[in-house]
Amino acid sequence: MNIGITLGIQKEYESMWVNGIKLNAILLVNALNQISGVNTYILDTSNKIEDLTKVMWDYTKFPVKRYQDAYKDTDLLITLGTSLPVVMLDEFRKTGKNKKVVKYQCGNSYVIDMERSIFPKDGQEGVKAPWDGGADQVWYVPQQGYQNHDYYKVVYGIEEVYPVPFVWDPMFLDRTVEAYKRKGKAIPKYIPGKSNKDKKLNVFEPNMNVVKYSMIPILMAEEAYRRGIEYDQLFVSSGNRILKNAYFKSAIGSLSGVLAKPKPKFQFTSRYPITHYLANSADIVLSHQWENPLNYAYLDVMYFNYPLVHNADMIKDAGYYYPDFEILKGVEQLKFAIEEHDDNLDVYKERNEKVLDRYTIKNKEMVQTYKKLLDNLFGYETHKMSYEYDWKTNLYK
């Protein structure tokens, strides 16, 4: 079976860390290629680069083909990085018998569509909602189910809408570490033994929409500072942009961490890859999300054994978890991470490794779940599955 996963490559050697789409596509290729008889590749739909080998991954392991050159030989088209109009999907189906289309959703479509509708931005004119449909099934990453499961059923007019196992792998983290070593740069590695007053806190929320926004972590650091809990500074990555917003600036202007002397406790910085921040300005990571309880960033942080203070209930068995918007419980977890993490490091590492493994190809049952999804889609076999996601196993219940 030939499976093509769409991606719009914008330029040669584009960074892997621009967003999660490329990672999602490549890691899905990796997972599907563990299935016997399956040949999965990336289908570039942008036509913006001539040489498709000039990408930031192993081209021989994760090949890229131009959509127009390869769609006729593709049996399953997974529209992940780019959506295609129904006319193109119809053209695809005409090239052979039993061709299938899966629309794979990575982001929180409901929230994104809501914000685009209520708060239109410059340059958005002409942007069309990708509601054309045309798919046989919709697969979505499980953290988006609460707001999107029925939403997808209605807007795409399709009943077969399923959460699918989340796929992660540290391969690109490892590769980045090796590149840092070759260049003599600091590498991301948690180093125990620092005094509490020297520990740096960092927030990685992108501040692009309401789902992942830095205010709750900022207020956790503020309350910790008020209580006299020692730490050096809080770095808010991807914070420079919102700091230009007058309302946000006024909201944080009276915080003790902003007014601290001789220098503010809070620093707002530009967006860089997570590995850069972990290597240079992080001993503890604070996180907050709203209905996005699974994210590559959380797993990346724990892979390097940094303490992660978070409210992601799909990984509540890892890191240092606090519920929902309960800032004060988050402060208690932050206090523990600052003062007790080093003494708890072996237990923390062992617990996190078990959690991380359930999202990788080490989880053979995860790979088998994707095989069963393909069998049911094409009618090769009929597997009875609940399609009810179990966050504790990254499988169906």
Give all domains of the chain, ordered by start, each with its CATH number. Answer: 2-169+361-396 (3.40.50), 171-357 (3.40.50.2000)
pLDDT at 31: 98
Residues 6+ apart with CB under 8 A from 304: 173, 188, 189, 190, 278
The closest of 52, 53, 51, 6 to 28, measured between CA atoms, is 6
Token digits of residue 186:
């600091």
- From residue 342, how far is each of 310, 347, 360 by CA, in Å? 18, 10, 27
The closest of 195, 277, 186 to 232, measured between CA atoms, is 195
Q: What angle do the packed helices 21-32 and 364-378 form, to 10 degrees?
A: 80
Token digits of residue 14:
């584009």
Q: What is the SS3 assignment for 227?
A: coil
Which residues in 301-312 are b (16+ Cβ under 10 Å) and which e?
A: bbbbbbbbbbbb
pLDDT at 131: 77
Counting Cβ atoms within 10 Å, is residue 12 exposed (0-12), middle (13-18) or buried (19+)?
middle
Q: What is the SS3 assignment for 310?
A: strand
pLDDT at 124: 67
pLDDT tens track, the chain, 397 positions: 999 999 999 999 888 877 788 999 999 999 999 999 999 999 999 989 989 999 989 999 999 999 999 999 999 999 999 989 999 999 999 999 999 999 999 999 999 999 989 988 776 666 777 777 899 999 999 999 999 999 999 999 999 999 999 999 999 999 999 999 999 999 999 999 999 999 999 999 999 999 999 999 999 999 999 999 999 999 999 999 899 999 999 999 999 999 999 999 999 999 888 999 999 999 999 999 999 999 999 999 999 999 999 999 999 999 999 999 999 999 999 999 999 999 999 999 999 999 999 999 999 999 999 999 999 999 999 999 999 999 999 999 9
- From residue 243, how far is each of 155, 246, 269, 316 by CA, in Å? 36, 7, 9, 31
Q: What is the SS3 assignment for 196?
A: helix
> Cα 85 to chain center, whole Å?
26
Amino acid (1-letter code) at residue 207: N
Q: Is the peptide bond before 262 cis (omega within 30 degrees of 0)?
A: yes
Q: What is the pTM of this model?
A: 0.94
Q: What is the SS3 assignment for 224?
A: helix
- What are φ and ψ of residue 120, in 5° steps? -65, 145
Is 102:28 a contact under the CB 8 Å cutoff? no
Is 7:380 a contact under the CB 8 Å cutoff? no
Token digits of residue 148:
């999107």
Strands 2-7 and 201-203: unpaired
Pairwise CA distance, residues 332 & 36, whole Å: 48
- Measured between its terminal Cα atoms, the distance across the chain in Å is 27
Token digits of residue 73:
């030989």
Is 357:363 a contact under the CB 8 Å cutoff? yes
Q: Of all helices (H) and strands (E), which one includes residue 5?
A: strand 2-7
Residues 6+ apart with CB under 8 A from 386: 396, 397
pLDDT at 128: 75
pLDDT at 272: 85
How many residues are recorded in the chain?
397
Pairwise CA distance, residues 372 & 272, whole Å: 38
